[in-house]
Amino acid sequence: DTEVTQTPKHLVMGMTNKKSLKCEQHMGHRAMYWYKQKAKKPPELMFVYSYEKLSINESVPSRFSPECPNSSLLNLHLHALQPEDSALYLCASSQVLGGGGYTFGSGTRLTVV
């Protein structure tokens, strides 16, 4: 298995909703990442997990809450989002932190209404 799987592919949520994005990989990678990508822009790093521990939080608002239940899974919990949070959310993994190239999932297209 050489993929990163993200669900759902599309999500529409209201500003008072709570939802979660899921990411799964079975490549034995020990580093996992959440990125946010706006249209026509490069991905922006949000969170980094290394060996299931939060390694980097790039000053992301608390309405985004990451969770790494085990080495294969990464969640992003969403609560009280704003319309400007609408974007493509990408999960990625790598063998170790910062090394070897990242494998990206196909993303979740989030729309906040």
| CA gap 67, 87 in Å, rounded | 20
Q: How far is the CB of 24 from another protein (least distance, A)?
A: 14
What would the two tokens of residue 87 be?
């974007």
- Which residues are at the interface with another protein (CB under 8 A)? 6, 33, 40-43, 45, 48, 55-56, 88, 90, 92, 96-107, 109
Nearer to another protein, 96 or 113 (CB): 96
Burial 79-94 (b: 16+ CB within 10 A, else e): eebeeebbbbbbbbbb
| 35 Cα distance to chain centroid | 6
Q: Which is nearer to another protein, 79 or 109 (CB)?
A: 109
Which of residues 45 and 73 has its CB atom nearest to another protein in the complex? 45
Query: Which pair of tokens denotes residue 96?
Result: 């170790």
CB of 43 to another protein, least distance (A): 6
Dist CA 102 CA 110 (whole Å) = 22
**Whole-number minimum distance, CB 104 to another protein, in Å?**
4
Q: Which is nearer to another protein, 80 or 104 (CB)?
A: 104
